[in-house]
Amino acid sequence: MDVSMAASENLVPLALLVHLGAAAAALALFRVPRWCRRVAFTGAVVASSLTTAAAVIVLASGEPLRGPLLFHQASGFTASFAVAPLSAGFLLVLGLLAVPIAVYSLGYLGHGPLDRRSAWLGAGFNLLVGAMALVFVADDVLTFLFAWELMSLSSAALVATEHERSDSRRAAFTYVVMSHVGTGCLMAGFFVLASLAGSISFTAVLSGALAFGGQRDLLFVLFLIGFGVKAGTVPLHVWLPDAHPAAPSSISALMSGVLVKTGVYGLFRVCAFGLGTPRWEWGLVIASLGALTAVLGVLYALAQVDLKRLLAYSTIENVGVILLGLGAGMMAQAAGRGELAALGVAASLFHALNHALFKGLLFLGAGGVVMATGTRNLERMGGLVRRMPRTALLFLVGAAALSGLPLLNGFASEWLLFQVLLLLFQATPDLSRLVFPVAGALLALTTALAATAFVKAFGIAFLALPRSEGARLAHDSPRSMLWPQAVLAAGCITIGVAPGLVLQPILGVAASLTESAPGAQWASGAFRLSPGPGHFDHFEPWALAVAVLLGLGLAAGLSRRAGYAVRTAPTWGCGGELSAATEYTATAFAKPLMMVFRSVYRPTRKVELVGEPHFPSEVKYQAGIEPTFERFIYQPLMRGVMAAAERMRVIQAGSLHAYLAYVLVLGIAVLIWLGGGR
Amino acid sequence: MNLVDSFGLGLLQAAVLLALAPLLRGTIKKLKAAFQNRQGPPLLQGYYDLAKLLGKEPVRSDVSSWVFVAGPRVYFATAVAATTLVPVIVAGAPLEEAGGILVLVGLLALGRFFLAAAALDTGSPFGGMGSSREMAVSALAEPALMLGLFTVALWGGSLNLGDLVRTTAARGLSAHPSDLLAAAALFIVLIAEAGRVPVDNPATHLELTMIHEAMVLEYSGADLALVEWASALKELLFMTVLVNLFLPLGLATGVGAAALAIATGLYLAKLFLLSVGVTLVEVTNAKLRLFRVPELMSASLGLAFLALALRFL
C-alpha cells in the first residue's frame, strides 16, 4: 500500500520531468525533424498518460495526492503540488485531449510546410502541456504564477509558429498583451491574499476567510478579469479568434480544448470557491457574462467564412455555456442550496469536458482540411465529402455534438444545465428567479444558432461542388491523423449514449467543492440521467437510441418499396450550367440571420462598379461586420495608453544626469517613508 | 410498465400517428378550400400521394453524396422516435422514461440539422436558400418555444410531457391569463415550425418565397415521400402537444374501452378545432416577407415572457 501510494505521488513530478526532457530532446534533435517529432510527441504521450493516471487515481479514491516539486535551501521555499478532485477533473480533460493531439501531430507536422518547424513545435507543445498540467496541480501562489506565465508564453510562441506572416505575429502580440493584463490582475489578487494569509500555500490563501466586504468584491473582480482573459469571456475575448486560428491546427485544438479551460479552472478554484461562500450577485455576474458570451460568441461564429475562426468563436460560445452553469451553481451556493450548487457545477464541468472532446475533434478535422485544400476560407472548399470521406464523417459527428443534438455528448451537458436552471427557479423564492427561465431561453437560442453555424460549416466545406482547384484535388488525411479524430468522435458518441459513465465522477468533483452532494437519485446508472431533487425530468439516451434506430429501419423499409433502382441526373442549374459559382455561399447562408441581428453585427457593404456607369465591366463587392469591441473598447483604450506614454516621455529625457537624480529623489523618499513608519 | 410493453406501445402509437398525419394535412387543405369557396383536393389525397411517391424510384443529383440520402431518413426517424415521447389519448407517453420536452425538441432539431445539411448537397442554389432560411427561422423560434414550454413546465413542476399532462389533467381546464398567453406564444411557434402562412407557404412553388419547400426541392420518389410524411407527422406532434397541454380534457387514465373511446373522440375533436384555427390564420393572412418573420417571433417571445411573469409574479 505504501509503495503504491508513494508511486502515485511521484506520477506528477515524473510527468513534468518527461515533458521537460522531451522538450530538450526535441530542441537537440532539430536537424532531424522526423526523430525530433517522434521523441517529442512520444514523450508527450507518456507524460500525459502519467498525469491521466494520477487524475484517475484521485477521482477513484477521492483522496488528493500531494507532494513537493522543488526545494530551495537558502530561502526555505518549497514548490508543491496537490491533485485535489477539481484539479484531477481538469487534468483528465488535458490528458484525454493531449494524447490524441500528440499522435495527430506526428502525422500532421510531417506532411506539410511545418516539417522544418518540428523542433519548435515539439518543444513548445511539451512545454505548453507541462505548464497546463502544472497550472492544474500547483499548490502555492508562486508555482501557480510561474506555471501560468510559462503557459502563456509557450502558447504565444506556438501562435507565432508561422512568424513570417504578419497576421500571425500580430495575433501573438495581441495575445501576449492581453495575457499579461490578465496575469497582472492575478498577481495583484494573489499577492493581496498571500499578504493577508502570511503564507503562499493555496490551503491558506484560498481558505476563504481572509477578505471581507468591499475588499472581497474587489478581489473577485480582479480574479474575474485575470481568469476571464484566458477563458475568452466577452468583452475580454478579442485575442482569441486571432490567436487560436493562427497556430497550427493541432495547437489550435489544444488551445481551444484545454487552454481556455485553465481560465475556467481559475474561476472555479478562486472566484467561486476560493474567496469564501460566493455572493449571489457574483453568481449573477458570472451567469450573465456567460449568457452574453454564449450568444455573442455564436453570433460571431455564424458570420465567419474562415473555418478556423468559426471554430474559435464557437469556443467563446461554449465558454459562455460553461460559465452559465458555474454562475448558476454559485447562486445556488449563495442561497444555501448546496445540492443544487453541486448540480450546477457538475453541468459546467461536464460541458467543459464535452467541449474539449468535440472542439478538439473539429479542430483536428479542420487541420486536415486546411492541409488538403491549402485554404481556411470556406468559400474555397466544397465537395470534400467525396475527396475526404473519413474526415467528413468525423467532422459531422463533431458538428452535431457541438450543436447540442441528442445521442451526442453536447446534448447531455446542456440538458443537465437546463434542469439546473429550472430547479433553481423553483428553489428561489423572490422575483429574481425570473432570470433562470430567461437564461434557459438564451441557452436555447445559442444552441439553435450553433446548429445553424455548423450546418453552414459542414455543408459549405464538405458538400456540393468543389469551389477551388485546391478543394478539387484534395486528399483524405493519413491514418495517423484520422485515428485520433476517430477516438475523440467515439468519446462524443459514448458519452452521448451513456452520460452516466462520466457524470458519476463529475458529481464527485462537484460535491467536493460545494461540500454537499446532489441527491442520491442522480446518476443511478451508467445509462441514465435521473430526476433531481425537485423532480424535473429524466433521460435515458439508450432507449432514445433504440427508438431512432427503429425509425431508421422503418424509413429504410418504406423506401425499399420502389426496389433498389435509383436514377442519377445532373442538378438543374436554372437554365445555365451548374458550377461552383451558382452554389450557395457561406456568406449567403448566414445572410438572413445577419440581417436579423444587424444591430449586433453592424454589417458594412461596399459595391464598386468598374467601367461605364450602366455597363460595368466588373463589379466589386465587399462585405464585412464591424468589430464592435475592438472599435468601441479597445481602440479608445489603446489611444489612451499611447497618449499617456507620449506624456511620460517628458521625464524620459535621455539624460543620464536626470535619471540619476530620479534615483536619488526616489531613494530619499523611500527612506523618509520607511523612517516615518517607525 | 416494463420495457417491452413501453416499446410495444411506442410502436403502436407511432404507427397510429403516422397513419393519422396525412389526414390532418388533408383536413387543413379541405378546410382552407372551403373557406375560399373551392372544392379542394380529396381528403385522402395525402395518402394517394405518399403511395405514389413510395412506389417511384428516386432521382438523385450526380453531385450529391450519402448525406443527401441520409437527410430524409434521419428526418423521418427522429420524427417517428419523437412520437413515443408525446401523450396522445392516454395521460402518459409510451417512452416517457426516455425523456421529456428537451429531448423532444432536441430530436426534432437533429432531424432538421440533417435535412438542412442534405439540402446543400446538390449544389443547387435553392437548396442552400431553403436550408439557410429554415435554420434561421427555427433558431428564432427556439427561445419562444422554450420559454413558452418552461412556463407550463414550471407550473406543472416537470419537464416530462407525461408528468406534465397528468398534473394539468388533474388540475382541470384553466383560463388563467398565463395559460392563454403561453398557448398563443406556442401557437405562433407551431405556425413557424409547421411552415404555414404567414411564415412560410406549403402550397407555393414560387422559388423565392419558399422556405421548407425550397429546402426539399431536389427530393423525389421515396425520398420525397419520407420528407413529406415526416413533416406532416411533425405538425401533428406539435398540435398534439399543444392541445394536450392546454386542453387536457378527457385523457384516459385507465385502459377501459369506454374511456379510451371517449379520449380518442375528444382528441380528434380538439385536433379539428386547432386545425380550424390554423386554417383561419392561413386564409386571413398574407405571407410575411422573410425579414418581417423575426418580428412575429419576437412577439411570440414577448407573449411567452408575459405568460411567465404573470404566472409567477
> Could you report the per-residue pLDDT of B232-281, keeping only the tens digit for each?
999 999 999 999 999 888 788 777 888 889 999 999 999 999 999 999 99
| Sign of the CA dihedral running A193, A196, A202, A207 | negative
Q: What is the largest CA-CA distance in chain A?
A: 99
Judged against a pLDDT cut of 70, whether residue A1 lies above it is answered with no
What is the distance between the alpha carbons of residues A134 and A54, in angstroms, rounded to a whole number? 13
DSSP for A604-657, written as a single string: EEEEEEEESSSSEEEEEEEEEE--HHIIIIIHHHHHHHHHHHHHHTTT--S-HH
- Residue A528 has phi, psi (to 5 degrees) of -145, 135
A443, closest residue in chain B (CA to CA): B143
For residue A133 the three cell numbers come to 498540467
What residue type is B113 in one-letter code?
F
Residues 118-177 of B with CB under 8 A from A: 119-125, 127-129, 131-133, 135-136, 138-140, 142-147, 150-151, 153-154, 157-160, 163
What is the distance between the alpha carbons of residues B90 and B165, in angstroms, rounded to a whole number? 9
User: Both ends of chain B: CA-CA distance in Å?
Assistant: 39
Q: Among A452, A478, A491, which residue's Cα sits nearest to residue A355?
A: A491
Of A445, A451, A554, which is closest to B143 when you measure between CB atoms? A445
What is the distance between the alpha carbons of residues A258 and A158, in angstroms, rounded to a whole number? 15
pTM > 0.80: yes
What is the distance between the alpha carbons of residues B284 and B295, in angstroms, rounded to a whole number? 18
pLDDT of residue A523: 52
Q: How confident is the model over B294-308, as pLDDT tens digits?
A: 999 999 999 999 999
pLDDT of residue A161: 92
Q: Do A463 and B67 touch (CB under 8 A)?
A: yes
Of A418, A537, A558, which is closest to B222 when you measure between CB atoms? A558
Q: How confident is the model over B79-91, as pLDDT tens digits?
A: 999 999 999 998 8
Q: Do A562 and B103 touch (CB under 8 A)?
A: no
Q: How confident is the model over A134-191, as pLDDT tens digits?
A: 999 999 999 999 999 999 999 999 999 999 999 999 999 999 999 999 999 999 999 9
| Sign of the CA dihedral running A191, A128, A120, A369 | negative
Q: What angle do CA A47, A49, A54 make, to 5 degrees?
A: 100
Asked if A381 contacts A462 with a C-beta cutoff of 8 angstroms, the reply is yes
Asked if A592 contacts B290 with a C-beta cutoff of 8 angstroms, the reply is yes
Helix (H) or strand (E) holding B91: none
Of B81, B117, B129, which is closest to A459 when you measure between CB atoms? B117
Q: Where are the domains of chain A?
A: 1-276, 277-352+404-459+476-555, 594-626, 634-677
Count of A-B CB contacts under 8 Å: 286
Q: How confident is the model over B111-146, as pLDDT tens digits?
A: 999 999 999 999 998 999 999 999 999 999 999 999
What percentage of residues in chain A have a pLDDT greater than 90? 71
Judged against a pLDDT cut of 80, whether residue B208 lies above it is answered with no
For residue A430 the three cell numbers come to 423572490
What is the distance between the alpha carbons of residues A36 and A28, in angstroms, rounded to a whole number? 8
- Interface residue B56 vs chain A (CB under 8 A): yes
What is the distance between the alpha carbons of residues A501 and B201, in angstroms, rounded to a whole number? 46
What is the distance between the alpha carbons of residues A425 and A438, in angstroms, rounded to a whole number? 10
Checking phi first, is residue A345 left (phi over 0); if not, alpha (psi -120 to 50) or beta? alpha
What number is the average pLDDT over the span A58-71?
A: 89
Judged against a pLDDT cut of 70, whether residue A530 lies above it is answered with no
Q: Among A334, A294, A297, which residue's Cα sits nearest to residue A313?
A: A297
- Residue B57 has phi, psi (to 5 degrees) of -75, 140
For residue A67 the three cell numbers come to 507532494
Measuring CA to CA, how many Å separate A70 from each of A7, A653, B188?
A: 17, 44, 65
The mean pLDDT of chain B is 91
The larger pLDDT score, comparing residue A528 to residue A480, is at A480
Which residues are within 8 A (CB) of B95 and not within 5 positions of it... i.e. 6 or more apart? A543, A544, A547, B6, B7, B10, B84, B85
Which residues are within 8 A (CB) of B5 and not within 5 positions of it... i.e. 6 or more apart? none
Asked if A79 contacts A68 with a C-beta cutoff of 8 angstroms, the reply is yes
Q: Please identify which residue in the block is written with the cell numbers 392561413.
A: B282
What residue type is A60 in one-letter code?
A
Of A396, A406, A440, which is closest to B103 when you measure between CB atoms? A406
Strand duo A567-569 + A603-611: pairing: unpaired
pLDDT band at residue A653 under the 50/70/90 scheme: confident
Q: Do B7 and A546 touch (CB under 8 A)?
A: yes
Judged against a pLDDT cut of 90, whether residue A100 lies above it is answered with yes
- Residue A620 has phi, psi (to 5 degrees) of -105, 130
pLDDT of residue B210: 81
For residue B122, list chain A residues with Cβ-Cβ distance below 8 A: 464, 571
> What is the separation of C-alpha B100 from the centre of its chain, rounded to a whole number of angstroms?
16
CA trace torsion A625, A628, A632, A636 (10° rounding): -70
pLDDT of residue A648: 87
Helix (H) or strand (E) holding A77: strand A77-83
Kindly calculate the radius of gyration of chain A based on its CA atoms and give it in whole angstroms. 26
What residue type is A389 in one-letter code?
P
Q: Do A400 and B110 touch (CB under 8 A)?
A: yes
What is the distance between the alpha carbons of residues A505 and A482, in angstroms, rounded to a whole number? 29
B295, closest residue in chain A (CA to CA): A596
Helix (H) or strand (E) holding A603: strand A603-611
Q: Where are the domains of chain B?
A: 3-312
